[in-house]
Amino acid sequence: MDLEDLKEKLIRESKGFREEYYKEDFAFGISRLISNLRTYEEIDQTKLAKMINTKQSGISRLERGNKLPSLTLIQKIAKALKYKIIIQLVSNKSGAIFDSDGNVFVVKQSPYYSTTVTFTQNLAHSNSY
């Protein structure tokens, strides 16, 4: 049995392993986001560091995901790369998604189709909260 098979077996058979494996790691998620964004923009760590007036080693630490970066640092990176930050909160219960632009996305299963139908409303432009 190889490592991938063992992982799949443990996910299937061990509730404790499954919970730990799928536990949300916010710091790692942010590090992955920054690393993917930097790679997509074809910028190396040294260039990004220069763009935000820091050292390459700081970008490396950020991308390791061991520590949650400050919102100020995330804003610097977004601004340097000309991105807008939008924060989303997703309900574990209903799947509803609220974002910092005032949008809410409610996902419901259609009784007539096997696909998912998504309804969208911008709460920032609505009087019905």
Q: Which domains does the chain have, with CATH numbers?
A: 3-80 (1.10.260.40), 88-125 (no CATH)
Judging by DSSP bridges, how do beta strands 97-99 and 88-90 pair with one another? Answer: antiparallel
In the numeric block, the tokens 């696909």 are attached to 115
Does the structure show a pLDDT above 60 at 118?
A: no
| 102 in Cβ contact with 125 (< 8 Å) | yes
| 72 in Cβ contact with 82 (< 8 Å) | no
Q: Could you read off the pLDDT of 49-59 as tens digits, one per residue? A: 999 999 999 99
pTM score:
0.65
